[in-house]
């Protein structure tokens, strides 16, 4: 009788596991890290589309560019959506992250703003100019300034140019390197500054209306969804990318941001 009771208990446990185990796993929402502002707004729409495909999402917002990757590496997130490939590549190089990009999202053409001048050429000699202090976004801004004729960079500097790579600076611009999240709030103390669009919009700055110069939309800085290498082939990854790259999300981006944010898919 005891053996029969143990066998029945084992069968019952197996049945419970076969029914409840996967169901519990499916019921656990994916944790997706985003920066506050447009990335978070867009992912609210992605969440709605994904739920129709049986994919539950929990959106986790961050206020800087460093923590979403740290949280993904620590296993506190399943994926993040906030960075472009040059930044991801630099993070992998600097920190040894085992991440891979799995799908493109949006492009945020970076804008240059000022409360003191209406045009870049009106900047005075020695003007204080704010740029992001991370290598990829800082280099991105310097390339914009070169494109607009304000500076020249060493040809070999590439996408990771720094102020040390400036070989011609007729206006003697003084570059002030700050965390990207601080640049919009520092405009009162600077003569001009680049501000990443995901930080500009929450600060009430619209690239098309307020920027005195803007990066071309044709750039290598399309944002992406990143996951850990060991997760890249899991079924939820393709579902997540499909939800993001859906037509409803595309239309939301075009309607909501009116050209300040562009679909990159």
Mean of the per-residue pLDDT values of the chain: 90
The greatest distance separating any two alpha carbons of the chain, rounded to the nearest whole angstrom, comes to 95
Q: Which residues contact 142 (CB under 8 A, 6 or more apart)?
A: 131, 151, 153, 157, 161, 162, 163, 165, 166
**Confidence (pTM):** 0.77
Residue ranges, comma separated, of all CATH 3.40.190.10 domains in the chain are 2-108+221-263, 111-214
For residues 40 and 31, is the Cβ–Cβ distance under 8 A?
no
* 228 burial via Cβ count (<10 Å: 0-12, 13-18, 19+): middle
Question: Between the CA of residue 213 and those of 91, 95, 206, what are the distances in Å?
Answer: 28, 33, 12
* 16 pLDDT above the threshold of 80: no
Topology annotation, domain 111-214: D-Maltodextrin-Binding Protein; domain 2 (3.40.190)
Percent of the chain topping pLDDT 70 = 89
**CA-based torsion, 226, 112, 260, 217: positive or negative:** negative
- Phi, psi of 221, rounded to the nearest 5 degrees: -100, 35
Topology annotation, domain 2-108+221-263: D-Maltodextrin-Binding Protein; domain 2 (3.40.190)
């Amino acid at each position: 009788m005891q053996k029969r009771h143990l066998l029945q208990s084992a069968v019952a446990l197996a049945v419970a596991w076969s029914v409840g185990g996967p169901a519990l796993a499916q019921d656990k929402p994916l944790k997706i890290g985003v920066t506050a502002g447009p990335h978070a707004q867009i992912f609210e729409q992605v969440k709605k589309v994904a739920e129709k495909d049986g994919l539950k999402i929990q959106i986790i917002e961050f206020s800087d560019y460093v923590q979403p990757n740290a949280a993904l590496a620590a296993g506190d997130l399943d994926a993040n959506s906030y960075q472009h490939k040059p930044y991801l590549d630099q993070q992998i190089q600097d920190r040894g992250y085992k991440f891979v990009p799995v799908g493109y999202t949006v492009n945020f053409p970076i804008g240059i703003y000022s409360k003191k001048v209406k045009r870049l050429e009106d900047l005075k000699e020695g003007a204080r100019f704010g740029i992001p202090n991370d290598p990829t976004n800082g280099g991105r801004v310097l390339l914009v300034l070169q494109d607009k004729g304000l500076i020249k960079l060493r040809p070999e500097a590439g996408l990771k140019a720094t102020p040390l790579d400036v070989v011609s600076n007729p206006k003697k611009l003084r570059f002030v390197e700050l965390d990207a999240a601080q640049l919009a709030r520092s405009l009162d103390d600077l003569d001009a500054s680049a501000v990443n669009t995901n930080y500009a919009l929450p600060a009430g700055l619209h690239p098309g209306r307020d920027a005195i110069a803007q990066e071309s939309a044709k750039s290598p800085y399309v944002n992406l969804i990143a996951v850990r290498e060991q997760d890249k082939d899991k079924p939820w990854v393709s579902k997540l990318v499909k939800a993001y790259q859906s037509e409803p999300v595309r239309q939301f981006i075009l309607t909501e941001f009116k050209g300040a944010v562009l679909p990159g898919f």
